[in-house]
Amino acid sequence: MSTYQERLDGARQALAEAGALLDRTTLPVGLADQLNAAASDTRRLFARFVAATAIVNPDLTPGGLPAAQTGKVHEVLARTIAAMPEFALCSHLRRAPGQPGVVRMALRRLDCHRCMATSVNPPPGEDDRCDWCGRHGITTFWPVSYTLGLILAYGDACGDCATGLVPDQSP
């Protein structure tokens, strides 16, 4: 299992490489090959990346990322992807990813609007865990929520993650 930081670095890199191709309509074959050739964690990250970006925006595929992505959106997207490798996906989003989804970070779930109404108990013993980076021992949490394409994400972040997710206001 990779660490949050490794996943974040991988997601940032994948997005930066995608973002560097603004004048192209498709990613080069080399990027997919490169990612396929990487370690198993990276392959897993890429699979999540593809799955997550398809949910965020059906137009976001490895074959064609929109040109209007900014660095800030990339950073939030990278941090969201990096936090989600073990998240459960509701069966509706699995079947039809192009619909709005809600990421309940504390529950590690990505649900459609119907399923977001279901109550799920958070995993036990996680009162001191940051919902993004997964660090334990956090005593001060910052409630963070944002929309990213078709998803709404919310949870409680440590100070470091809150600063990265909401860079315009230091907590």
Q: To the nearest whole angstrom, how small is the minimum distance from the Cβ of residue 166 to Zn ion?
A: 12
Interaction pattern, residues 147-166, with Zn ion; x per rule: CB under 5 A:
-----------x--x-----
As beta bridge partners, residue 151 has 101, 148
Residues within window 22-51 making contact with Zn ion, judged by CB under 5 A: none
Query: 86, 108 in Cβ contact below 8 A?
Result: yes
Q: With CB under 5 A as the rule, give the number of residues binding Zn ion.
A: 9
As beta bridge partners, residue 58 has none
Q: To the nearest whole angstrom, how small is the minimum distance from the Cβ of residue 57 to Zn ion?
A: 18
Residues contacting residue 140 through CB under 8 Å, at least 6 positions apart = 158, 159
Residues within window 79-108 making contact with Zn ion, judged by CB under 5 A: 90, 92
Task: Note whether 133 binds Zn ion by CB under 5 A.
Answer: yes
Residues contacting residue 156 through CB under 8 Å, at least 6 positions apart = 105, 106, 130, 131, 141, 142, 143, 144
Q: To the nearest whole angstrom, how small is the minimum distance from the Cβ of residue 10 to Zn ion?
A: 17
For the record, the structure tokens of 135 come out as 């660090």
Residues that bind Zn ion (CB under 5 A): 90, 92, 112, 115, 130, 132-133, 158, 161
